[in-house]
Each structure stands twice: as C-alpha cells, then as structure tokens.
A and B are shown apart, each in its own frame.
Chain A
C-alpha cells in the first residue's frame, strides 16, 4: 500500500503474463450482468409491444385485409397464441439473433440493419476518437493550478457551447463550410454521379464525412473535456504529483507520466458511459446530413410504424451501450495498476 501508484510502468506486468483467474472471473461476472441487462431491456420491449394498440399482423397487411390472409399473418407473428408463449418464442428467437422481418422492407431486420450499420460506424468511430483525444489533450493542457476565475469562465463558455443543440451545430457548419466556403458537400456520403474508384473514392467519402463527424465530435467534446478537467483538478493537489514535481520533472512530464495514468481509466469509463448519447447524436446528425445509417433508418421506420425494425434497432442500440460499458470494465481490469497489485497480493 505504501508503494506509490506508478501507472504506465506496472500495467505491463499483467498483459505479459497469462490472465489470472480472478481477472477471468471478474470478466465473466461483467458479461453475465450485461446479458441480464439486455434480457431485461428485451422484456420491457415485449411488454411495450403487447401494450400497444393494434397487432403487428394488422399493420403488415392493413386494416381491410382479407380475413384468411390476416389469420395467416397472425399465425406467422404468433399473435394468436397466449402472451407467455409469444414471449418465450420471441426471446428464443432473439437468442438466435433472429430479429424478425421488417414490415416496410420485407426483409430480415438484421439484414436491413447490417446494411446501414457501416455508415453509422464510419460516422461514430472517428467522432469518438476525435472528441476523446481532443478532450484528453486539451483537458491536460488547460489544467488550472487550483480554482480560478478563469476556470469559472471556461465552465460558462463550455455550458453555452453544450447548450447549442447538435442539429443547430450541424446547420452552422453547413452554412459556413458548405454554403459559404464550399469546402465540403452538405448531404449524403457520396455523389451518385461520381465515377471515382479506389483511393480517390475513399478520399471523397472522407470529404463527405468531415462535417457530420466534426458536428458529432464537437457535441461530445465539451462534456468530455469538462469531466477530464474536473478529475484533473481533484488530483492536482495530491502528494504524488508534488513529489514528482519536487524530484525535478517538468509540469508536462508530471501530467503525462503521473496524472494521466491515474485519471485515464475514469475517463475511459466516462467515455463508455456516453455511448447512448453518442448514438443519439448519430441519429440527429444522420438526419441533418442525410446519411443513410442506422439513425435515419430508425426514424423512418418509426414514422412508417415498422415495429419489428424499430424494435430491432432499439435492442441493437441497447446492446451497443452494454458492450461499451463491458469493454471499459475489461480494459480497467487489464490495465488498472491498483487492481494488479491487489491481485498479486491475493494470489
């Protein structure tokens, strides 16, 4: 316990050896809890669908459909059986990753989602990396030496920026960089008339993605930066940082080698916990920039009352949130130098 937390140095000890049993058990527990959460979310979804007026079968073929056709649809949906049987059947199908058939696309929900997923990931992943990297670098670069008036002003500025809705941010970017300056296209992911291929096509796609990514990243950045800043201020008066300064390290070295290793796991958890907000941001950004991803799909499916598709995307989004949290936990278990020491003591 008397040993100072060293951060980067000691974390390598774990990754080099085989994972200790305690680590595996902890990971298994997290995964089981995650599955339990997804099951609860699925159950809530089922209750909602049951409580909704009208049955999905009627939605498929319309109110004035042929009685025989309706009966057939009811059978294929399972709506003529008791709720318990339907529930069991539905959960069993979910377990096989069968999300049902989309009403408006007349195709398996999973296939429809998978077709739209790449565009959403191409938008979310760069935005996630960009916002967390910028927040981390700027957050460490602007740690104040204590509470200051400037700090309060910074918080006020950040609050003003984060009060601007993400779609207004998108509108402003379009107004400035597409309409006025003409640097970036304002809609979609590609020009249907373009005949570019290979590397040029990739560059072209990146040009299309630049503004949506910047919009999404900007909306996440402020919150991440404020979090990191608050954590850094909490840490700043710790004795280990004073010791590091006293032994002759520069401020930048102190932050990089001692402060950052101690706050990065908390930051990682915070980023993971904001997965839901990132997904919600993607829904809006895809609408603003006309990107055919999962977000626009869920909106159009909801407008079309395509219940199986909306349900599928909702469950998919919930799963992504759960997986992000488990991933953060897993990384913590592997990289937290403090856990490492505790486990070595236990073994």
Chain B
C-alpha cells in the first residue's frame, strides 16, 4: 500500500510538473504563432474551429487561440511575479520570527495576521479605483497579502531548526544571527516553500482572472478572465469562444494546485 501510494503521489506531482512545462512551452510560442499580437483581426467573426483557425474566432474576428495564448502569458507572469513576492516575504518573515523570537516574533506574527485578514480581492478593487488598473499594482496587492500562511509554517520550522545540533554548533563557533539565518536556517526551509509555492501561484492566477472577469483587470494585457467574460453571451451560439480560454485557465490552475504534492513525492 505504501509503495502504491508513493507511486501515485509521485505521479500526481509528475503530472503537475509536466503540465506546467507544456503550458509554459505553449505560451512561449505566442510571438511565433501569433506575430500580430492578441488583438489582431484574423478572419471573419464567430468562425467555428477549422484547419486555419484552430480554436475558431471571436465576435470581432480575432483568433481565439491567439487571445488565449497571450492570456496564458499574462496569467503565468502574474502568478510567478506575485508568487515570488509572497514566497520571499513569507520565508524571510517566518525565519526571522521563528529564529530570532522575542519581540520581533510577536510583531511580525501580528503583521502576518493582519495581512492574512485583508480581503485580497477587495483590496485589489480598491487599488484599481485609486490607481490605474495595472499589473504592477495587482502583483503588489497579491504578493503583500498572501504571505501570512507561509510565514506561519516557516516560523514553526525555523523554531524547530534553531534547537538542532548543527545550528547550535555554528552558533557556538561564533556565527552571527544574520549569518546563522542565511547559512543554516533559510536554506533548510525549502519544504514549506515547495509546499506553498504551487497554491500561492494558483491563487494569484485565479484572483487576476476574477478581477479581469468583472472588468477591473489591466486593459493593456490579454486576460483569460476577460476572454471568458466576453465569450459568455455567445455561450450557446459560439461555444468555441469559451472552450479554449476556460480549458487553459483550468489546466493552469490545476497544474499549480497539484504542485503542492511535490514535497510528498520525495
């Protein structure tokens, strides 16, 4: 049973990684497959999928494949950028709070709690109202509000590490607190990092798509959420307008959610 479980967990993680590689590769072909960019009209409006237009065309004659490819790039970009901010903050805050302890622990964990409490989508909507709806604002909002959970896990791990012999030995040899953090604590926090990276990126992708769906996304970039919203009135008459962006978004979200299984596979 144990062996079978490992095999399946391993395969789920493998599927996730393979799916991400495929999606990244497909998204990378966008400038080659659609050199005219996402907004260019390619043929007559509302054409069903054919040999020339693989995914059909939308209500104003744009290739659904091209708009989806560029939408995927936006989703991947926002996911990776917001994920990077989140993971950096979560790991650093968690390590400092757990290893240094005392007042910094109390303060940092209180801040983590507040950051975790803020309703993310609402803050993004507020920022869209105050500033132009731009990608950078969204990346910051998502990155600055999602690190609370990781910080909590990293803190517990850092606390456990601080009592380990190799850390005590390094400390006894005279390594400073900062040196200990950089050399011994942070490198050993890869497990919580791996476990949270996938869901964090998936969360950022889902929020960006939802914002674009309700019309508050960055108007300059193609977005899967906006594609799905514009395709909705044609749901019955032109199913292909919805099908490709929905499939792309579901596959992308699923791949990053399943990535959380990677640490279990080792």
Contact = CB atoms under 8 A, between A and B. Distances in A.
B54 to A, nearest CB: 21
Contacts of A265: none
Interface in B224-242: 225, 228-229, 232, 235-236, 242
Secondary structure of the B side of the interface?
A: helix
A102 interface: no
B117 interface: yes
B119 A279 contact: yes
A164 B248 CA distance: 11
A328 to B, nearest CB: 13
Interface in A31-55: 37, 40-41, 44-45, 48-49, 51-53
Interface stretch (A13-21, A242-250, A309-317): A309-317
A264 interface: no
Interface residues of B, number: 46
A322 B122 CA distance: 14
A214 interface: no
Contacts of A141: none
Question: Most chain-B CB neighbours within 10 Å: which of A171, A179, A322?
Answer: A171
Interface in B191-234: 202, 206-207, 209-210, 213-216, 225, 228-229, 232
Given A159-B257, A276-B120, A310 B213 contact: no
Nearest to B252: A163
Contact of A302 (B12, B114, B125, B207): B125
Interface stretch (B63-71, B90-98, B127-135, B150-158): B127-135
A48 B126 contact: yes
Contacts of B202: 163
A276 B115 CA distance: 12
The range of chain A's interface size is 35 or more
A165 B128 contact: no
Given A171-B235, A284-B214, A299 B125 contact: yes
Interface in A282-339: 283-284, 287, 298-299, 301-303, 305-307, 310-311, 313-314, 317-318, 321-322, 325
A152 B210 CA distance: 29
A152 B215 contact: no
A160 B12 CA distance: 12
Contact of B232 (A149, A171, A298): A171
A283 B206 CA distance: 14
B17 interface: no
A44 to B, nearest CB: 8
A138 interface: no
A61 interface: no
Contacts of B229: 167
Contact of B130 (A159, A303, A307): A307
A162 interface: yes
Interface of B: 1, 4-5, 8-9, 12, 113-114, 117-123, 125-131, 202, 206-207, 209-210, 213-216, 225, 228-229, 232, 235-236, 242, 246, 249-251, 253-254, 257-258
Given A160-B250, A163-B257, A165-B213, 10 more contacts: A37-B113, A156-B258, A159-B254, A163-B250, A165-B209, A166-B210, A179-B235, A280-B120, A280-B210, A318-B122
